[in-house]
Amino acid sequence: MVGRTGAGPAREQPGADRELRLVSDDGYPDWEAVYRDNVSWVFALMFAKVGNRPDAEDLTAEVFMAALRPLRVSASVAEVRAYLRATARTVLAGYWRTRMGREITTIEDDIVDDRPDPEPPDPVSAARARAVLDRLPDRYRRILELRFLQGLSVRDAAHALGVSVANAKVLQHRALQMAAQKSAGGVQ
């Protein structure tokens, strides 16, 4: 990896020769150039979303493995990055679905989204969600509000609560479990 010693999934040996490669906007010469040019930002994105190095490394590898077959090396740099971002979104959704039973991660796009605004939430559903949140202990309610209603990252929510990132993840997990129980219990 160029420019970030010891960060990300590909670690170089100290003193190893580093080769800088120029990548044109037209496309990449080979798959290795695709990897070298994009691994840093994919890893940084994954790390920001999951908050720990081992999972971020695994997810980064999963993104590149998923993209290896369908991705055309002849695609433009912008197309490759868009495809990797979409693949990262899918990999993260799968990660959170298996971890929490829900797809809860979004990736902000640098591109303007032309889709119409989503429909406003159903008032009955919003009232039901509020009722479930109101029945949770304060810290559980607060972590869910910060994460899902305000859209904060785990790190930002942890900072707002004055706890570690690991503690925020545990709070979120327990809060989601309790909210699911309360929701299944027929909150009116």
Nearest CA to 43 out of 7, 70, 3 is that of 7
In the numeric block, the tokens 């119409």 are attached to 116
- pLDDT tens digits for the chain (188 residues)? 333 444 444 444 444 444 444 445 577 888 888 888 899 999 999 988 888 888 889 999 999 998 888 877 788 888 888 889 989 998 888 888 777 665 555 555 544 444 455 556 667 777 887 888 889 999 999 988 888 777 778 888 899 999 998 898 899 889 888 888 877 665 44
Q: Is 11 part of a structural domain of the chain?
A: no
Domain count, the chain: 2
Q: Is 5 part of a structural domain of the chain?
A: no
Are 88 and 44 in a shared domain? yes
Q: Is 171 part of a structural domain of the chain?
A: yes
Q: What is the CATH number of the domain that holds 71?
A: 1.10.1740
Q: Can you give the residue range of the structural domain that contains 49?
A: 31-100
Are 135 and 84 in a shared domain? no
Q: What is the CATH number of the domain that holds 143?
A: 1.10.10.10
- Longest CA pairwise span in the chain (Å): 65
Helix (H) or strand (E) holding 126: helix 123-134
Q: How far apart are CA 101 and CA 22, in angstroms?
A: 42
